[in-house]
Structure 1
Amino acid sequence: MTPDMPETIVKICGLSSPETLLAAIGAGADMAGFVFFEKSPRHIDLETARTLGLMAQGRIAKVALTVDAGDSALQEIVDALAPDMLQLHGKESPARVAAAKARFGLPVIKAVGVAAAGDVAAAQAYQGVADVLLFDAKPAPGAAVPGGAGVAFDWDLLRGISDKKWMLSGGLDAGNVAEALRRTGAPAVDVSSGVERERGVKDSALIEKFVSAVRSL
């Protein structure tokens, strides 16, 4: 998310196959997200990460998504994928975000679950620590995974955010992303389940359709 990228930034998250990674690259997406969380249907192992990381190198920004991972697990992921950014999608504190940035020397996206205005306000604790805030729908109590459920939240809660280093996620697809951008002014969008033909399985045509919907604005 840099000044030389005036277009809305598009991140396709949960990629797990060469075919769909190439579809994201071909469609002109800016970021490819790879999930390292065994409870997620989008989880990839380190061998797959190495393969996809090499394919993506120099063609699309690579984001490694983890959930409350320790340093040893993060090191294995960094070694395998060589990501451009880390995405911390669990309950990581501002101190943990700062520590991960310092240890791995990578910019960090911090995901924040949103259900009410107080959640947006609480996210300010990460200002100046996380490089990018990602606002996602808050998971239901007891949910096995903290995201990727295809659920949207009240986008109007994000109106008035002046900081340009944030992303909108949660329930986006090609049919509603234009409305989401109109209502929020989000500088970047993140999609996962909205480009899947079944849970955890990306669809190349839906990826292309989503990116086209954003780029047509």
Structure 2
Amino acid sequence: MAADIRVKVCGLSTPQDVDCVARAGAAYAGFVFFEKSPRNVSYETAATLAAAAPVGLCKVALTVNAGDAELDALTEAVPLDMLQLHGKETPQRVAEVKARYGLPVMKAIGVADAADLAQIDIYSDVADQLLIDAKPPKGADLPGGNGLAFDWRLLAGRKYWRKPWMLAGGLTPDNVAEAIRMTGARQVDVSSGVESAPGVKDADLIRAFVEHTTG
């Protein structure tokens, strides 16, 4: 497996998390701003974490159907490199966010079957990157971070979309190598798969996850 797989670890909440992610060699550090999530952090906490991130570690804010007032407050309080829209934002809304804040925008797309893949081409017109995640179960409180995978065979041979994309959903140190092999992903995202409890990151699992993307 190639050694240039870029890893995003999402749902960081402590300075130790950020330090571990950076030392492990991840490319992205994700902070969650969604009150229902066990990984939710305040703007004040996120500002501290972002300030501690070394140069080169991309700081990503995950939001869910956030309005302008919320995004205004977030971007004013926290030094960020990218916004991740993980709700039901329309292509028009993605374009509006990108224009308003001048930051790269990653749009999450939930996949359960082949019909969902059409959204990837639609959002490729407006987003800078795409995060291909497992569609949450009906009635789920969280749009992501549920520890669920989708059928990776749906992405086999489809790695040449027009925009960079990232594979998410149910990834762990034990299955990430196989997921990369099956999908051709060059970027992967993990959250619950490197936790010892909901919202509690495990340094050993983070290191193992990154190591298994390059083995």
Report if the CA contact (8 A) 1:86-1:109 is conserved: yes
Per-residue deviation at 1:128? Answer: 2.0
Who is 2:173 aligned against? 174
Where in structure 2 are the equivalents of 1:134-153 lying within 5 Å? 134-153=131-150
Where in structure 2 are the equivalents of 1:1-217 lying within 5 Å? 7-161=4-158, 162-163=160-161, 165-216=164-215
Instruction: Give the aligned residue type for 2:125.
Output: G
SS class of match (2:143): coil
Per-residue deviation at 1:78? Answer: 1.2
Number of positions where the alignment pairs a residue of Structure 1 with one of Structure 2? 211
Q: Percent same amino acid at aligned positions?
A: 57
Report if the CA contact (8 A) 1:25-1:59 is conserved: no
Distance 1:27 1:115 in 2: 31
Distance 2:58 2:40 in 1: 18
1:51-78 per-residue CA deviation (whole Å, 9 max, x = no partner) reads 0010015141100000000011111111
Per-residue deviation at 1:17? Answer: 0.6
Distance 1:81 1:61 in 2: 13
Greater shift, 120-129 or 60-69, is seen at: 120-129
Who is 1:3 aligned against? none
Greater shift, 186-195 or 155-164, is seen at: 155-164
Greater shift, 151-160 or 87-96, is seen at: 151-160
Distance 1:97 1:35 in 2: 18
TM-score, scaled relative to structure 2:
0.95
SS class of match (1:23): helix
Report if the CA contact (8 A) 1:94-1:129 is conserved: yes
In structure 2, list runs of 5 or more residues that go unmatched: none
Distance 1:127 1:54 in 2: 31
Distance 2:183 2:43 in 1: 36
In structure 1, list runs of 5 or more residues that go unmatched: 1-5
Please list every run of at least 4 consecutive aligned residues from structure 1 whose deviation after the TM superposition is greater than 3 angstroms. none
Distance 1:105 1:57 in 2: 22
Distance 2:77 2:205 in 1: 28
Distance 2:79 2:70 in 1: 14
